[in-house]
Structures are given as C-alpha cells and as structure tokens.
Structure 1
C-alpha cells in the first residue's frame, strides 16, 4: 500500500498511476497532478494531500516521421520533442508556448501539460490548437481505471472524442499516461511583414484584412506603443506584424500579395527568416510582460472586436491571433475584467495574479461540467480546486 502523506509520488508506469489513484480514492485523499510544474501557479490553488508527478513517464514510445505521428509519455519535455522532430524536418504544429519566464517557473514544460492546458502559439490561426493535433490517449480516471481512446490516425473517432475532452481539462478528469499527436513538416523559410504606428482599431482592421487575404498568414499580432516600448523589442512605435511560412518562392509571392493588400494601412517592412523566428518567440512567450508584477489576463474574444478590449479596460495589451487572443496587464477588478470581456462575446483567464483563474460556469454549462466531472472523477481525487474554487 502506498503511503499518501503529503509528498511527491513519481510513478514510472501506467500501472503504478492506477494503483496510486485508486488508493487515493479509497482513502478519501486527493492528488495534485503535475508534469514539469511550470503551470502550477495558474488556477485557483490545488489543495491536495499528495503530488502525483509525471516526470517519471518521460519516454518517446513511437515516432513515425513518414506518417506524421508521434506517441510519447506525458512527461517528455516540449523542448526535447521540438529537437526530435526538427531533426526530421518536422515541427509541433500548435507551437506550444513554454511561458516559464512569464510565470516565473523553474521546471521544463511537458507534452502532457501542453495538452492538458490546450496551450497553443501564434500558428493556431493557421494550423489549429493543441486539441486539433491530439489523436489518442491512455489515461487513468479519478476512479482508478485505465482507459484508452483515439488512435494513431486522424480519422479514427467513433463515439466520444475523449482526446478533445481532455485537452483543456487541466488534469481534473484523468491522468494522462500516454498521448499520440500529429506533427507536420516544418516550413522551409518564413518572413514577417510589419507596419508601424497603427492605433489599435486600425491594426485590428489590418489583421482582419490580412486574415481574409489568400496568403495563408500563420501569425498576426499587434503591440500598441506602450507594449512595443518594453524589452525585448524596445520599439519606438506601435507594431503590427504578419507571418508567412512555407517554401521560398511561395513565401516571396505571398509576401508581395499581402503588401499590396495592406497598402492602405501604411508602408510595410520585412523581417528575414532568422529575425522573424526571434520575433514570434517573443510573441509566443509574451516576453514583453515577463517582468511586470501586475495581474496578467489571457482574453479570448472575437477577432473583429479584439481592439475594443483596450477601450474597455485600463492596462497594457498584446494582441495575438488577429485580435482574437489578447494578453492584458491590468489592475482592474477581476469582476470588471470578466464582465467587459463577456460583453464582447469572449471569456477571460487569469494567468498570473490573485483570484479565480477560470471563468465561473453557470446554468446548463455548469450542470454539464459537473456531470462530466462526476463520470470521470466522482470523488474529486484529481486536482481539486484547479478550475473552480472548492
């Protein structure tokens, strides 16, 4: 029998995870589930009797570059996977952010953590979010049962797509012990077109125009003047940027087309491939806000009204995803932030700061969420309080 005193358990097999979770449930104890521990500060504070670390489940089980499919245990680090697939001319298409500096974390982000939090970078407007590349899983429910779902091909789902359900559940439904994801060929090159000095509303209009142009933009972002002035960019004007990726000839032709489409917004400047990659890492990791102690919000809003976040809320913003994702530094009251974002048709998540991190659920959605939780973890063993206050 495992002693479930408040300590860290690091199982090496799925069977050991089953034993640990089952015994916790039988003993009326709770578990905090972590990978690299880099996102533990996000959420409403997990109050558990022990920590279940997945660091011991860190093997790549199968990688078939010719099939664009990779199966690994959840404790494999994102950095290790990025290096592995890059050696085959491939990439993790959802461009998972690490966010270690932003969150002041010391660990290394893991694949399981990226999927459990459904984390994606600027490329999601083109390639999709983490959940869109999550093909299959093996996991242990809060009941202590080992389950499998999905497979190793894209069109393999009959019935419920449990991979999609687990993505964004933050470890509150089941403990991932094996995951299968889709990878894609890496772009041969890239270029970023930049326009300087646009106010937020014009920048939003430019991003909408770029996304509607037939040029396959894979990143669109706007840094207002106050944000652009911050390190590491240290700009003198607001910056609006658009990334194009692919083969050299295709990128060059699309860049010319996009420059013409954006002509009404001002002159465009270009970043070459190396400087473009550096810039989008800064956007992906929200580096401009890494050292500011104020509360940091991740706001999801319809792209067409993204710029209105700056009008409705005091603070400093960084607009990603054509305005559909806004990072906001603000001392505004959480209730005011959530109400303002809700009025724009979006929702808010507090990534750094005091107070509930996730949007409170109500009505039918809250009832549905409770039924799903009861089906997978009826005793509340896994990550209690992570997504909702206890």
Structure 2
C-alpha cells in the first residue's frame, strides 16, 4: 500500500522542507519539495517530524511497567504513542530479584510483539545516598550471577542498565553489560569525577537523567555531571518538564553536549495522562500534586507526568531549539544511543514511517507508526 502525505512542512536532519513524502510497506520511499506528483493526503501546511523515541519511561495512563502486567504495559505504550512516542523503552525500578525477573519476562513478550523497544533496569545497583524514589531496602551491590539471570529473563530484550560507578564490582558489571549488548548508563550515583571517568572508560555511554540523583556541579569537586557532560562518548538524558531541571541548566547541558549527544526523556510514571492523586512506582507510593510527582512522605521527585510532545514543544518554545534540533534530541539521538538509528529516528528515505504531524502550535495532530495511523490527522 502506498500513502502520500502532501502540503506538509517536513522536518528532516537537513532542515524543514515544504513538500510531500511517500510511504510504501511501512517505509518512507520518497521525499520531495513543492507539489506532490499525484493525489495524496493534504496536511494543510502542518509539520511532519519523526516519531519520538523515549528511552526512559516507567508508566502512564494509570499503568506502570514495573508491575510487569501486560495489559498495564500495553496501556502505557498506547498513551505515549498517542502523544507521538512511536518507540518506547520500558524502565523498571529497584525491586527484589524475583519481582524484577517476573516483570522482565512479561515485558519481553511485548518486546517480541514489537510493542516495546526494550527493557531498562534503573537499579538495583545504585547509590543509597542518591536513590531518590527507589526503595533502599532492595538496593544491592552488583552481582554477575543476578545480572545474568535478568538477562536470561529478558531473552535478548534488555536494552539498558543504570548503575552507580562507585559501587564495588560496578566496573566489571558495566563491562559485562556492554559485552552482552546492553547499554551501561551511569546515574543514581554519588561518584566522584574520577570514579565517573572510570565508569565511562569501562563502557558507560549514557547519563541517566543528568543532574538528577547525583551530586551537583562544584568548582573544586566537579563530580559526575562534569565528567558525563565533557566526554563525547556519553549521551546525556534530560527531563525537560520544568520541574526536574532549571531551564538554565538545561541550556548549559545542551550547549556543551549539542543535539548529537542530548536525548530528551520523559521519566514518566503512572500519572502521565492522568490527574493528581496517589500512584505506585514499583513498591513505592507517589503523590502527584499539580502534575508534580513526589515520593509519599518525602520531597524526592518520583518520575514525571511528562509526555514527549510536551518535551518537544518546550525545547522549541522555551529552550530556543530549532525544529530540526528538537527532532534530533527527541528522536534521532535517543535512537542512535539505542542502536536503532539505521531504521528510525528521522524523516529519511528508507527509514520506518514513524511520523508525528504537528500544528503550528506544535500540538499533536496525527501519529503514524510503521506506516499505519495510530491517530489520523485532524
């Protein structure tokens, strides 16, 4: 089946083009400027950007990936897809080994079905001093045997592991993860600058939500933030929700890392797409007030209620990124970090037709995944 989208402003890595594109068998086959050569679906000058790639998501629509419930997980993926996220990684939180293994096995089935793009373990190998909304009772030192069991449960779908580089055995676990095709992400860490560099040298290639759950920048003790920002081997995750990080610090990180190393994430939990109330995040309870999620009984931020379309819009309207730059940090850079950029992450000939149609105000008008409309343009 062939589909032509006409009268569009198409956001590609090379710039914004007024024209048309053609899709066949779920892939982009042609991109042209000006009038389409034949009949097509006219978009009235709306923008077409690549489908968003969220490499760090816990939940939404009242559901949560850490429960391992397939219906909840599908509901989460559907909510984020309607907000433009066509590729999503399911992030788990610190829990017992049995709970992690059960959830991993269940989510691996959804990876087999193409609903999810992989599984991310955010914990349990993280710092007690920087654990945030993770249950400290389940934190533990890295274990090769335990990690091997989780890899087995994931059946090749474990995509990323967040780990604190300063923990005993962490460097060996980072090497083991990378050797098994798993991204080692450094975060929830109390590491020094030097320890963080050791983690990067061992294979760490992602900074889990930079700034959050790690020591702040200091002129005599630069800590992990400086080490992660300055190393060109590292992709920087940032939560652009107006709560996790001040806009000035977002701009600072972006100015250093640039669009090629900056990946916006949601870190969303169950309340995304929902109202205020009490929600679960793994074994922890979270209060959401005015859209801000905090751990019950404390001040720790516990994920977000963000969706990627909002992160994209904020990047343009508040951080001053161009549309091409915003598309890169919400699609191409995370796709590259996940090893998926050969087939998705940009509006390019030969790639999957994962597309988001946006209005002049950058609101979602339509979403396409693999050449099929999830929501048709309106």
- Answer whether TM exceeds 0.5 for this pair: no
**TM-score interval (norm. to shorter):** under 0.3
| TM-score normalised by L of structure 1 | 0.26
Normalized per residue, the structure richer in helix is 1
Rg bigger for which structure?
1
| TM-score normalised by L of structure 2 | 0.27
Normalized per residue, the structure richer in strand is 2
